[in-house]
Amino acid sequence: MTRTLGLALLLVLGFGASVAMARVLDAGRPAAQARLADEAPYLTPETARRLALGFGGLAADWYWLSALQYIGRKIQDEARTKHLDLEQAIELDRIKAVDPRVLVRLFDMITTLDPRFMAVYEFGAVVLPAVDVKAAVALLERGIQANPDQWYLHQQLAYIYWQRGDYLAAADAFRRGARMTSARWMEHMAERMEQKGDDPHVAQAMYTRMYEQAQDEQVKHWALNRLMELRSLRERETIRKVLSGFVGAKGRCPLAWTDLTSALREAGLTLHPQGPPLDPSGTPYVLVISPLGCDVTLHRVSTVPRG
């Protein structure tokens, strides 16, 4: 009995000591770990494909989770440095802090291991152009080659071209996709791209389609944010017109939103019961009055992207 108790005590003490030592050792490690986390995979994608045996899909999932963690860490860092809420910091198409070599290598790795992993192309089309447009185009072209039945990828490619202002290339991508589907809207988008690619209505149509077609929830959320941003830009334009009408009539800025209630309602804006117009996230707009004049801006807690 005494012997058993002694052994149990030794076991507890030994385990406790090992945990304590691990903590001491870990204290000196964070810097090294952070450095490692930003390193691209060591293996080439083709070697990884060979070594994966029958587990290519599982290996692709592993790298997918690594890519998400990598991007997530960058978003957290950005939120910390800019003192933003995490929700406000998640702007997938504007993450500049990611290392393109790491991200491109991770996406290459995943799509080599599992060429049908659509979420990667979808995600890559949104995240990569901020840091490496060429790599984003190459990723999508490779995806189209590996998945010739997925017309949706042509829309993603068109988005990349449209975003960098290459409307003819975007129109071409839409046309290539239109040949694969009976949906007329792709052909229609191609025509609009050629006529006036920088039109806000084209942007609205683009993000609406991205939202409707997205399979990935984060991409869906991002497209919804962009649609909110567009709507808010239109609303702020309308509010500025109402403000300018008030200043023209009264020769001064309004003292509060309540001075504009009827004009704002007539302009079709949604109003808070206490007067201020609401932005697409349901947060009241802020009336800014300064010696230079009056203007409207987003509330600091609003989740509408600031552009």
Partner 1 sequence: MPLSTETAPTPSRRRRVMAIARNTFREAVRDRVLYNLVLFVLLLSVSAIFLGAASASQDAKIIVDLGLSAILMFGAFIAIFVGVGLVWKEIERRTVFAIFAKPVGRGEFLVGKYLGLCVTLAVNVAVMGAGVTLVLLYVVRGTTPLLVALWPTVTLIYLELTVLTAVALLFSAFSSPIFAVFGTLAVFLIGHFSTDLKGLAELFDAAAVRAGLITLYYALPNLSTFSQITPAAHGIAPTPIDLVAALGYAAAWNITLLAAATMLFARRDFK
Report the distance separating Cα 24 and Cα 80, nearest Å.
27
Which of 91, 114, 166, 172 touches partner 1 by CB under 8 A?
A: 114
Pick the closer one to partner 1 by CB: 28 or 217: 217
Residues 2-61 that bind partner 1 (CB under 8 A): 50, 53-58, 60-61
Pick the closer one to partner 1 by CB: 61 or 99: 61
Q: Which residues contact 252 (CB under 8 A, 6 or more apart)?
A: none
Alpha-helical regions (H) of 38-132: 45-51, 56-81, 86-89, 100-113, 118-127
Report the distance separating Cα 124 and Cα 103, nearest Å.
9
68 lies in the binding site for partner 1 (CB under 8 A): yes
Shortest spacing between CB 149 and partner 1, in angstroms: 11
Instruction: Identify which range of 172-180, 210-218, 255-263, 272-280 contacts partner 1 by CB under 8 A.
Output: 210-218
Pick the closer one to partner 1 by CB: 115 or 284: 115
Shortest spacing between CB 191 and partner 1, in angstroms: 33
Closest to 257 in 3D by CA, of 235, 268, 242? 242
Q: What does each C-alpha distance from 276 to 108, 258, 272, 284, 297 come to in angstroms?
A: 49, 7, 5, 6, 12
Shortest spacing between CB 294 and partner 1, in angstroms: 42
Count of H helices and E strands in the chain? 14, 2
Which of 182, 217, 268, 290 touches partner 1 by CB under 8 A?
A: 217
Q: Amino acid identity of 304? A: V
269 lies in the binding site for partner 1 (CB under 8 A): no
Report the distance separating Cα 45 and Cα 117, nearest Å.
15
Shortest spacing between CB 65 and partner 1, in angstroms: 6
248 lies in the binding site for partner 1 (CB under 8 A): no
Pair 289, 212: CB distance under 8 Å = no
Report the distance separating Cα 141 and Cα 153, nearest Å.
9
Which of 33, 145, 195, 215 touches partner 1 by CB under 8 A?
A: 215
233 lies in the binding site for partner 1 (CB under 8 A): no
116 lies in the binding site for partner 1 (CB under 8 A): yes
Shortest spacing between CB 74 and partner 1, in angstroms: 15
- Footprint on this chain of partner 1 (rule: CB under 8 A): 50, 53-58, 60-61, 64-65, 68-69, 113-114, 116-117, 119, 123, 215-218
